Amino acid sequence: MEYKFNNADRVRSPPGASVPLSSLLGCRIGFCEMVLISRRKPSAVSTAVRDWLGVAAALIGAVGTVAAVWLALFLQITLVERRRPVLSLDFSDDYLDQDVSATELEDLTCLTYRIRVYAEVNKETARNVEVLLLRARRPENAVNGFHIPDRSFRWTGQDDRKVDIPPGSWRRLDFLSYIVDSRSEPPRFALLAATIPDSQERPSGAPLDRRWYLDDPGTYEFEIAVTAEGMNATGWKLRFQFNPGSFQSLEDLRLHVANLCHERISIS
């Protein structure tokens, strides 16, 4: 700060003398100049502090913006991934679990083998779930060497081949149909994959096309894919043994298809 005073204002007046008006005006003007100069020229320390605070505020704002963007992306990705539907398979050959269902008519007996598709809890509803047959392998040295067509499986009791599965619940799909026609002697057996299009089904349940028949004894392997909206398809292998034999009761018929098991595989 600078202080400026006129020399005339520094002259002392004798005691009792009146102060000239010019002296009073000079002091007033000098004080005003001091105030204006002090306002025009801030100290170097205060300027540096203000500059530093401005830079710090800008840095904090930039860091906060970047952190907010990354947090939003992280939460979005994490929440979507955690809520994505997860589906799995299960099967039980216990008659009480009803995965093997029997239907008896006058001359026809049918066993239907069903697979349960589970939707994991605390996830989104699995929508438009469809199970596709990717490939099927017949037993070695099979007489029926036709390629089994790769189609989608039917859901039990549903006309549509795509269904929604809420989290924590399951739906059954028809996997195999085993039909015994007692109108002929000996009875005719027909094991079929439940991927037959509705247009090729007959009242007896057995199509004319031999590609659908699994009539050779031995081990069969089916590779399937479970698909749904918003999730990657999961691959599974189902394996079972077919040994047709005598038929006196439903229990005898159940023994013809044995050791049905499943395992998770990668889709290739």
Digit-coded pLDDT (tens) for 132-172: 999 999 999 899 988 888 889 999 988 889 999 999 999 99
User: Of 17-31, 58-72, 76-90, 99-113, which one has max mean pLDDT?
Assistant: 99-113
The mean of the pLDDT values for the chain is 80
Task: Tally Cβ neighbours within 10 Å of residue 242.
Answer: 21
Task: Tally Cβ neighbours within 10 Å of residue 130.
Answer: 18
CA distances from 92 to 55, 178, 191 (A): 69, 17, 19
Digit-coded pLDDT (tens) for 59-99: 888 888 888 887 777 767 666 777 889 999 999 988 788 89
Flag the least confident range among 2-6, 57-61, 194-198.
2-6
Instruction: Name the token pair of 179.
Output: 């039909």
1 falls in which pLDDT band (50, 70, 90)? very low
pLDDT above 70 (res 118):
yes
Residues 136, 221: contact at Cβ < 8 Å? yes
| pTM value > 0.75 | no
pLDDT above 50 (res 126):
yes
pLDDT of residue 19: 47
pLDDT above 50 (res 25):
no
DSSP H/E element including 224: strand 218-227
